[in-house]
């Protein structure tokens, strides 16, 4: 039985432990800071459906030390995963673990890709994964209606892409992935699949849009709604005063305007001999001026300050439309923000914390960033949510995400009753997401931990997953699996690899690095009916979690493999003479 150690008490740790126990039938030890905090109680209760004894061993340790790892029996484990949200803490913990066991496989969760690359360079048998990087494409695809899928790059440089069948060239389709309406992955009849895997030739050209900046942006901010109302009221009072002065003093329009403005804003000189009607008009104008001047001064000062702050922060200066609003600028929100920007999509970013990771990223990209509570209607109005293409809410609180989604849809419905705002939510619980779908007709929700856990688990067993393909709230794994010497698959026909609903063989690469043999890729391996696998082949597969586990067992080599003798090809049929 495989043995693994996991450090962390967050959502990803909980999903990862469940993945290792239920999919890989592994024995798991979990190290948490506190047995009663965060996800630790739920982690301690995880077990396989038919085996309550499969629960993990949970160790409480506020600080990781050599003694803690020795208590966890690290030297007897196959791999250890560090899935805390703090990159530096994960690296430090990994270094301590390596002091205890210099050869153990280490899987690190890291957001900083530069630091991650440096760690992989220094530590052998180490994999660095980013949960947000794995999950972000699923949120982006859901936000854009799967119209901008991510590219999957194989080790030989070739590229694949999961797209809707209607937008794919039949000659480029490599396999059918899923019937999305029925949430059926890898169907036996590939022609039924509406989500397909295709080859991509060359680099995708992305037309980036320049951030839109109106030439009179500062003027628009200065002449905001409050100042416009005050100016309108002032003009109305002066206009009425002009008419009244003209009627009371029997003067022309210009002189009446002159007297009205000076009287209201500069004060009036008393004239005891003036008619009573003229004196009454003067009194009204003076009183109105006393009210107008301080109100106008306060409005100008307040709006100038607000305008300067808005310009400095990069907020919207005018309503926009057809954009995507991303609310929650943590790790996931930052990745989603970057990917949408790279695809040339207009984005407005929102977060209540000015120190959030994605705030500065958004400003560096020249995107509008609004600091405010996403559950406040004014914040969503400031982001022009009513005219947005989609609202993506990816804070770490499910309730906040749901509240913001309902509020955003309500604001959009008030603006145009015929349009329902597209919303994508980050929701952890599967059952909660299903109830939300039924009660509120919100079909697009994703779980970061659910999307990322299969890749982390696969990496812990020593298999490098190239990428993941989101299918609803679940994922398919794209992996390159070498055929082991003496394995169950060696000598088998290509067509014997695929199993409907579990695994599909996409391609077979011949030759391996270091063997002095050039790499050749066989696409459509199912059609190469008489070709067989050998120990120099690498299979490119798309699989479910269970399918990948079963395939790894079939592809695992033996310690002392016998010489390989490929089966002889079937005899060719001799052409019959014509009659």
| Owner of token pair 């396989």 | 48
Task: Using the predicted structure, report yes or no on whether residue 134 has a pLDDT greater than 70.
Answer: yes
- CA–CA separation, 223 and 229 (whole Å): 9
Q: What string of H, E and C letters represents the secondary structure of 197-259?
A: EEEECCCCCCCCCCCCCCCCHHHHHHCCHHHHHHHHHHHHHHHHHHHHHHHHHCCCHHHHHHH
For domain 3-129, the CATH class is alpha beta
Residue range 112-133: average pLDDT? 84
Asked if residue 276 lies in contact with residue 262, where contact means CB atoms within 8 angstroms, the answer is no
Would the pLDDT of 217 be above 50? no
Indicate if the pLDDT at residue 17 is higher than 90. Answer: yes
Distance from C-alpha of 332 to C-alpha of 398, rounded to nearest angstrom: 14
Looking at residues 189-207, what average pLDDT do you find? 73
Task: Tell me the longest C-alpha to C-alpha distance in the chain.
Answer: 134
Mean pLDDT lowest among 210-224, 418-432, 441-455: 210-224
Question: By mean pLDDT, which of 184-188, 201-205, 477-481, 488-492 is the weakest?
Answer: 201-205
Q: Residue 500 pLDDT > 70, yes or no?
A: yes
Q: Region 140-152: what's the mean pLDDT?
A: 72
User: What are 550's two structure tokens?
Assistant: 């079963």
- Determine the average pLDDT of the residues in 455-482: 80
Identify any residues that bridge with 393 across adjacent strands, giving them in sequence order. Answer: 327, 425
Q: Where are the domains of the chain?
A: 3-129, 154-159+167-205+450-555, 217-313, 324-446
Closest CA to 5 of 16, 393, 249: 16
What are 331-388's pLDDT values in tens digits? Answer: 999 999 998 998 888 999 999 998 888 999 998 888 889 998 999 998 998 888 999 9
CATH number for the domain formed by residue range(s) 154-159+167-205+450-555: 3.30.70.1450
> According to the model, what pLDDT value does residue 221 have?
46
Q: State residue 265's pLDDT score.
A: 61
Return the SS3 of 21.
Answer: helix
The pLDDT-based confidence of 305 (bands split at 50, 70, 90) is low
Give the Å distances, CA to CA, from 77 to 1, 418, 461. 10, 58, 11
pTM of the model: 0.69
Higher-confidence residue: 52 or 355?
A: 355
What's the pLDDT tens digit per position in 510-560?
875 444 455 678 887 777 667 888 888 888 999 888 888 888 889 988 888
Lowest-pLDDT range, 11-15, 240-244, 415-419?
240-244
Q: Are 156 and 521 in contact (CB under 8 A)?
A: yes
Decide if pLDDT at 280 tops 60: yes
370 contacts: CB under 8 Å, gap ≥ 6: 313, 315, 316, 348, 349, 350, 379, 382, 383
Mean pLDDT within 406-420: 89
- Mean pLDDT across 20-35: 90
Which of 8-17, 292-301, 468-477 has the highest average model confidence (pLDDT)? Answer: 8-17
Which CATH number applies to 324-446? 3.40.50.720
Separation CA 240–CA 247 (nearest Å): 11
Given a cut of 60, whether residue 3 has pLDDT beyond it is: yes
End-to-end CA distance of the chain: 66
Question: Is residue 28 within a helix (H) or strand (E), and if so which, with residue range?
Answer: strand 27-32
Vertex 143: Cα angle to 321 and 197 (nearest 5): 135
**Equal CATH topology for 3-129 and 324-446:** yes
For every residue of 411-457, which 3-state class applies, written as one string?
HHHHHCCCCCCCEEEECCCHHHHHHHHHHHCCCCEECHHHHHHHHHH
pLDDT computed for residue 215 by the predictor? 44
Cα 459 to Cα 377: distance, rounded to the nearest angstrom: 43
The count of residues in the chain is 579
Backbone angles phi, psi at 324, to 5 degrees: -115, 130
With pLDDT > 70 as the criterion, what percentage of the chain qualifies?
A: 78
Strand partners, 370: 350
Query: What CA–CA distance (Å, rounded) separates 261 from 268?
Result: 10
In Å, how far are 88, 454, 490, 537, 562 from 559, measured between CA atoms? Answer: 38, 28, 14, 18, 10
Three-class secondary structure of residue 532 per DSSP: strand
**If DSSP states are collapsed to H, E and C, what string results for 535-549?**
CCEEEEEEECHHHHH
Tokens of 152: 């999957």
Instruction: Using the predicted structure, report yes or no on whether residue 73 has a pLDDT greater than 70.
Output: yes
Residues 6+ apart with CB under 8 A from 287: none
Helix (H) or strand (E) segment spanning residue 15 = helix 11-22
Strands 173-179 and 159-164: unpaired
Specify whether the CB–CB gap between 448 and 11 falls below 8 A. Answer: yes
3-state secondary structure of 462: coil
């Amino acid at each position: 039985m495989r043995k693994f150690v996991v450090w962390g008490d967050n959502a990803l740790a909980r999903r990862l432990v469940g993945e290792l126990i239920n999919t890989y039938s592994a024995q798991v030890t979990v190290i948490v800071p506190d047995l009663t905090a965060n996800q630790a109680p739920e982690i301690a209760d995880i077990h396989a459906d038919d085996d309550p004894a499969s629960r993990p061993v949970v160790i409480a340790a506020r600080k990781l030390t050599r003694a803690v790892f020795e208590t966890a029996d690290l030297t007897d484990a196959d791999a250890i995963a560090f899935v805390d949200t703090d990159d530096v803490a994960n690296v430090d913990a990994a270094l301590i673990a390596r002091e205890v066991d210099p050869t153990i496989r280490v899987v690190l969760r890291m957001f900083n890709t530069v630091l991650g690359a440096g760690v992989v360079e220094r530590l052998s048998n180490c994999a660095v994964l980013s949960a947000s990087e794995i999950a972000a494409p699923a949120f982006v695809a859901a936000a854009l209606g799967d119209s901008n899928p991510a590219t999957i790059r194989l080790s030989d440089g070739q590229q694949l892409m999961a797209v809707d069948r209607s937008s794919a060239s039949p000659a480029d389709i490599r396999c059918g992935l899923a019937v999305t309406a029925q949430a059926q992955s890898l169907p036996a009849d590939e022609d039924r699949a509406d989500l397909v895997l295709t080859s991509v030739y060359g680099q995708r050209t992305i037309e980036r849009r320049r951030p839109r900046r109106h030439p009179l942006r500062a003027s628009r901010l200065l002449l905001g709604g409050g100042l416009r109302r005050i100016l309108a009221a002032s003009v109305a009072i002066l206009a009425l005063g002009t008419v009244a002065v003209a009627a009371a003093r029997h003067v022309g329009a210009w002189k009446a305007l002159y007297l009205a403005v000076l009287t209201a804003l500069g004060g009036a000189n008393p004239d005891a001999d003036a008619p009573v009607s003229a004196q009454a008009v003067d009194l009204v104008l003076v009183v109105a001026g006393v009210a107008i001047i301080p109100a106008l001064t306060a409005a100008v000062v307040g709006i100038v300050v607000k305008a300067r702050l808005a310009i400095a922060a990069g907020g919207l200066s005018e309503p926009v439309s057809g954009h995507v609003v991303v609310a929650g600028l943590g790790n996931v929100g930052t990745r989603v923000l970057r990917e949408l920007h790279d695809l040339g999509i207009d984005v407005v970013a929102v977060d209540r914390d000015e120190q959030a990771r994605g705030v500065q990223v958004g400003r560096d990209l020249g995107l509008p960033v609004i600091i405010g509570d996403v559950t406040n209607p004014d914040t969503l109005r400031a982001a022009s949510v009513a005219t947005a293409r989609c609202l993506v809410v990816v804070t770490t609180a499910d309730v906040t995400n749901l509240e913001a989604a309902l509020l955003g849809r309500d604001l959009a419905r008030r603006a145009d009753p015929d349009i329902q705002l597209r919303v994508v939510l980050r929701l952890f619980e599967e059952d909660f997401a299903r109830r939300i779908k039924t009660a509120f007709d919100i079909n697009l929700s994703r779980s970061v931990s659910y999307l990322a856990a299969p890749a982390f688990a696969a990496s812990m067993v020593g298999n490098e997953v190239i990428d993941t393909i989101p299918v609803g709230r679940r994922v398919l794994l794209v992996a390159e699996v070498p055929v082991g010497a003496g394995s169950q698959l060696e000598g088998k026909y290509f067509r014997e690899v695929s199993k409907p609903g579990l695994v599909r063989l996409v391609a077979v690469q011949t030759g391996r690095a270091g063997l002095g043999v050039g790499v050749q890729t066989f696409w459509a391996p199912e059609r190469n009916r008489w070709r067989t696998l050998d120990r120099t082949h690498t299979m490119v597969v798309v699989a479910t979690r269970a399918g990948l586990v079963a395939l790894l067992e079939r592809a695992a080599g033996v310690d002392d493999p016998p010489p390989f003798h490929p089966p002889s090809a079937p005899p060719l049929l001799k052409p019959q003479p014509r009659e």
